[in-house]
Structure 1
């Protein structure tokens, strides 16, 4: 009998410890909310009661633990487990419930904006660092998902390219897709970039945004928002978006906005996707830019040939040694740089060189030329890289003449947007497993290689000698070589004799008013 009593006593003690641990976890979460400035001390009981209801807990005991520092994401895991036991959310609702939980410790937009601009008055870097670290802490930036990405580098004659196999964005299972099809879109918000996503619970086609926050700012006479990308591809990957839901456009105002952004955040780079299909990004319906605290490979590329812009003697200009066609402009005079870039854009919009398959307008009066612009500051100089784009198609290249050609689609067939233009490949998640099978194939091991990789793998087999120790690295370098070719395919003035002469002809046309 004594053994039975002791077991029961131990069981009761275990349950008590579990309960006390639960209360301690909730208290630690509340402490983080106070540290973040989300609440004041007077709000603690209020927040506790809100959390208890949210988690399905109907009682409270004061924990006896100390006030030590705690990781918000670990606490999030523990609280989600409590809520799961209490049947507070379904599996389908999990990401939305999770974001709503983290909203409890995320300051309101007004609080964050006040703190941001106060820190900005001290130093711009303090403001962006504060906002970025907060976004990481409250899981607006999905640090644990981002850590799953596979990354490596590939050396080329243009410099080092960066390759990422993107595993961070969760893939939807068939159940989720079926549920989304059944739910009709409300049309609110109009898209995933709209400011109206701030604090949105989400569901259907809209992602979870309860803990999402944006900084308000002005570019020119328009209101813009500044936020960090949930699935960042690089350091402090920011999205700068127009508060108005209006289409992407590249024009003089775009260049003005990019340069004006640098006046506010001189330590950041900023660029815009092109405004045409095939050569643009995945979202063309909402005007936005991408910024960050990062030096991309293209920024490190040197000038291959200095050129003179006769109408703008104060501007240093040169053709960049890069697989795509890039003209780099540099000046301390923002107004002159704005005038020159706008004139070059207008010239490119109408420029034809049929010997290189460059056609600005087809018979149906559809325009096919635009620019992917990237801006940054080096000291007192504004630096603007203009990447020339052409989205024409042909019978031979139905996906795009200046787009990754079909032989490369087994690695990359999606649009070449701003980030990849600058030398950072974002490759689909399927490649992680598929490349593993390619490695087995090269080692003559049992494999399930995809048919799409077979021709490429046979070429590698005939040209490489691999061992179990080096096959992984050699396949990665082969992928890097494919990405280099992807960028070359997207270049309008090819990196060969005819292409370089063609680029010179275009510069001459710019100088010939």
Structure 2
């Protein structure tokens, strides 16, 4: 009877959230029974409403485990099975695409509102996990910076990792951004996507896909990706593609990670952008100094008061921004200034690239170009313009697009480490004596020196504030022209080089 109740609740959930229609009820019921290898069904008499999806899925997983339909109760096995269940409630791609474009005729926002809610209702975006993310803001000389400790991306359990290593290597789908993920059942080392639907769009006359990120690092975090598995490349076409997207969805921003290791994102093998409906701290940053570039006198040009070195371009014409963006990119790619520590290339390896971001504000188009350089040195083997070793205990991963714009994505380990650190502060314990806290010892001691009355204050608030400050230092490390008198002089020299 437990199974019948769970199935009735799932079907009711689908009806309540308009994932299925009343005509689909028996069909969906039978699809779910099939997954449980159950040939009988007696509908429970009790009626259920306002279904709590996570608790129903938990019950289904428990039943599946008892029936030996899943091998273990680890996060990977659970996710593979409950995604299969939700696939039974998810309409065919053609249905979702039709609904999307029907709503788009009303307005682009109507279409994205529908699709974002749909992506959550199908559990492709797991609301219950996203809600666990820890978020706060820290003030700085650059404005408020947003900090996130991301808990929604599950960490694989050791058993699943071990099993995945024993599996035959698969090249289908080629990566997690390929079109072939739509409806894919997944495996131990690749997420299930039966509940995933992609909206096809045309970008620069090519087929691209539009979807939301399942991990939602900010509001309506979307991914726009090439229909073909081709590598990231920043060139003139990049700017054309960014503004093609803005024409579809003028209420969204769109940006690209850099195309070089160290300063790029985690996926360089598949051409893609990220966008969404969020005003990032960098979008609010003030112009520090304005410039005029002779060939583009109609375009407003300025450098931002921002830890990374960012040029903002504004114009009513996206064509002008495409041309000027490409002009600056090509000039930056060849730019060397030894006195500023900028080398366009060493030993035949190119170092200079950009992280571009496009948006529309009222009738003006904006293009932000963050100048990047991925050179490594003996002192900084992970990158000179990358978070330096002294802050790796907080942040050692690449500073990608989202972080360039002022939103930190910090590892989930920090949640437990900060709780432990509070305990050690309260009890005057030696930070170095604990394996997890060793790396924080010097930083934690500096906090004690800075806040002598820390025990009478909210320790977690102080730690959050100091984590934020440390992240901002990492952003400053990533700026090619520093926010110092010399650094601004170096930046000014490059801007004059553009003229």
Same fold flag (TM > 0.5): yes
Which of 304, 307, 326 is the matching residue for 1:342?
Answer: 326
- What is the SS of the residue equivalent to 1:121? helix
Identify the residue that residue 385 of structure 1 maps to in structure 2: 368
Distance 1:79 1:86 in 2: 11
Q: 1:460 aligns with which of 447, 451, 472?
A: 447
1:450 paired residue among 416, 433, 437: 437
Matches within 5 A, 1:175-190: 175-190=159-174
Alpha-carbon deviations, 1:339-370, whole Å to 9, x = none? 000000000000011111100011x2111110
- Structure 1 pair 318–42 and aligned structure 2 pair: CA distance change class (3 A): same
In the alignment, which residue of structure 2 is the partner of 1:242? Answer: 226
SS of residue paired to 1:402: coil
Q: Tell me the TM-score normalised to structure 2 length.
A: 0.95
Shift of 1:332: 0.8
Residue aligned with 1:467, SS: helix
Q: Give the superposed CA RMSD.
A: 1.7
Mapping of 1:325-340 within 5 angstroms?
325-340=309-324
* Aligned twin of 1:376: 359
Offset at residue 86 of structure 1 (A)? 2.8
Task: Give 1:422's aligned residue.
Answer: 405
CA contact (8 A) 1:73 1:137 kept: no
Once structures 1 and 2 are overlaid, which stretch shifts more, 376-385 or 75-84?
A: 75-84
Post-superposition CA distance 1:14-38 (Å, at most 9, x none): xxxxx2x643442342244456665
Is 2:43 the counterpart of 1:62? yes
Shift of residue 468 of structure 1? 4.5
Q: 1:407 to 1:221 in 2, by over 3 A?
A: same
State the distance in 2 between where 1:438 and 1:258 align.
43
- What SS does structure 1 have at the residue aligned with 2:345? coil
2:150–2:411 Cα contact (<8 Å) kept: yes
CA distance in 1, matches of 2:456, 2:405: 33
Name the residue aligned to 2:422.
439
Larger radius of gyration: 1
* Alpha-carbon offset, residue 138 of structure 1: 1.2
Separation in structure 2 between the aligned mates of residue 434 and residue 163 of structure 1, nearest angstrom: 16
Find the aligned partners of 1:170 and 1:67 in 2 and give their Cα distance.
30
**Retained in 2: the 8 A contact 1:326–1:385?**
yes
> Is the contact made by 1:33 and 1:104 (CA closer than 8 Å) also made in structure 2?
no
Displacement of 1:173:
2.1
Query: Measured at CA, do residues 131 and 272 of structure 1 come closer, stay the same or move farther in structure 2, by a change above 3 Å?
Result: same
**Counterpart position of 1:77:** 58
Q: Of residues 358, 365, 377 in structure 2, which corresponds to 1:394?
A: 377
Aligned CA distance change for structure 1 residues 433 and 43 (closer, same or farther; 3 Å): closer
**In structure 1, what is the Cα distance between the partners aligned to 2:19 and 2:406?**
39
Partner of 1:412: 395
CA distance in 2, matches of 1:418, 1:231: 15
- In the TM superposition, residue 149 of structure 1 has moved relative to its aligned partner by 1.6
Higher mean C-alpha displacement, 458-467 vs 254-263 = 458-467
Matched, 1:158 2:158: no
Please list every run of 5 or more consecutive structure 1 residues that lacks an aligned counterpart in the other structure. 1-18
Question: SS of the residue aligned with 2:294?
Answer: coil
Structure 1 CA distance, aligned partners of 2:169 and 2:48? 45
> Who is 1:492 aligned against?
480
Shift of 1:382: 0.7
Equivalences for 1:31-430 in 2 at 5 Å? 31-34=12-15, 39-66=20-47, 68-91=49-72, 93-362=77-346, 364-430=347-413
CA deviations 1:400-437 (Å, max 9, x no partner) are 11111111111111110001101111111121122223
CA-CA distance at 1:94 after TM superposition: 2.1
Which shows bigger deviation, 212-221 or 42-51?
A: 42-51
Task: Tell me the SS of whatever aligns to 1:156.
Answer: coil
Separation (CA, whole Å) in 2 of partners of 1:376 and 1:309: 21
SS of residue in 1 equivalent to 2:422: helix
Paired positions, count: 491
Give the secondary structure class of the aligned counterpart of 2:288.
strand
CA distance in 2, matches of 1:434, 1:76: 30
Cα pair 2:198 2:209 within 8 Å, conserved: yes
**Are 2:492 and 1:509 aligned?**
no
Shift in Å, 1:119: 0.3
Q: Secondary structure at the match of 1:295?
A: coil
Distance 2:62 2:107 in 1: 40
Q: SS where residue 460 of structure 1 aligns?
A: helix
Deviation at 1:63, TM superposition (A): 3.0
Superposed, 1:20-35 pairs within 5 Å as 22-34=3-15
* Pair 1:475–1:28, CA change in 2 (3 A): closer
Instruction: Write out per-residue CA displacement over residues 204-256 of structure 1, whole angstroms, 9 at most, x where no aligned residue.
Output: 32111111111110111111101111111111111111010000111111111
Contact 1:360 1:369 in 2 (8 A): yes
> For structure 1, which segment, 492-501 or 40-49, has the greater mean C-alpha deviation from structure 2 after superposition?
40-49
In structure 1, distance between residues paired with 2:97 and 2:63:
33
Report SS of the residue matched to 1:311.
Answer: helix
Instruction: Give TM-score, length-normalised by structure 1.
Output: 0.92
Matched residue, 1:5: none
Q: Distance in 1 between matches of 2:90 and 2:56?
A: 14
